[in-house]
Amino acid sequence: MNKILVICPEPSLRLFYAAELMEEGYEVATADREPIAGLIEREWPDLVVLDHRDLGDQEVLVKAIRKERNELPVIFGRDRVHLKSDRNRYPQTDYFIKGTDLEGLKIKVKRLLRPQTLPVENMETLIPFSNAPASQLNLDLLHK
């Protein structure tokens, strides 16, 4: 089960996001804005949902997250669409438009968590494996 850390200063939004993500089957931890170093180490999430109004605050938080775990996917909550996405500056990031319907968030969560399994799936379908020992060895290595 994937674990998602929701960081949001507004208690009602934090609980709303957590409830929706738990309904999707994720384990969810929530935080206001405690020191990121201890938080990431303690919770060890697979993904972070970061919803702060102040974009400068988000910038500081994502830099702190990247310092702890550079590969950790982060999804930003936004009030509106931004023409220049944070994806250009930070790999493994995306954003969702805040509102009462969180389908966009759920889609982004699935998309960012799914790539962990894609390479093996792609290799199995693209490479014709036979019963030859070398083919089986390649497949065994992919699954490790």
pLDDT tens, 54-70?
A: 656 777 888 888 888 88
Tokens describing residue 40: 């990431």
Q: Measure CA 25 to chain center.
A: 14
Residue 12 above 60 pLDDT?
A: yes
Burial classification of residue 96, based on how many CB atoms lie within 10 Å of its CB (0-12 exposed, 13-18 middle, 19 or more buried): buried
Query: Which residues neighbour 77 within 8 Å (Cβ) at sequence distance 6 or greater?
Result: 8, 49, 50, 51, 52, 95, 96, 98, 105
Return the DSSP state at 114: G
pLDDT at residue 45 in the model:
95
**Residue entry with tokens 């934090």:** 14
| Domain of 83, in residue numbers | 3-116
Residue 143 above 80 pLDDT?
A: no
- Identify the CATH number of the domain in which residue 21 sits: 3.40.50.2300
In total, how many domains does the chain have? 1
Answer whether residue 26 is part of any domain: yes
Answer whether residue 126 is part of any domain: no
Answer whether residue 68 is part of any domain: yes
Tokens describing residue 138: 């390649």
Alpha helix ranges (H) inside 24-117 = 36-43, 55-68, 103-113
Q: Give 92-104 pLDDT, tens digit per residue.
A: 777 777 777 789 8
Answer whether residue 132 is part of any domain: no
Q: Is the separation of the CB atoms in 93 and 76 below 8 Å?
A: yes
Answer whether residue 51 is part of any domain: yes
pLDDT at residue 133 in the model:
57
Answer whether residue 75 is part of any domain: yes
The SS3 assignment for 13 reads: helix
Residue bearing the bigger pLDDT, 99 or 43: 43
Answer whether residue 109 is part of any domain: yes
Answer whether residue 108 is part of any domain: yes
Task: Please compute the mean of the pLDDT values over residues 81-109 and round it to a whole number.
Answer: 72
Amino acid at 77: G
pLDDT at residue 139 in the model:
58
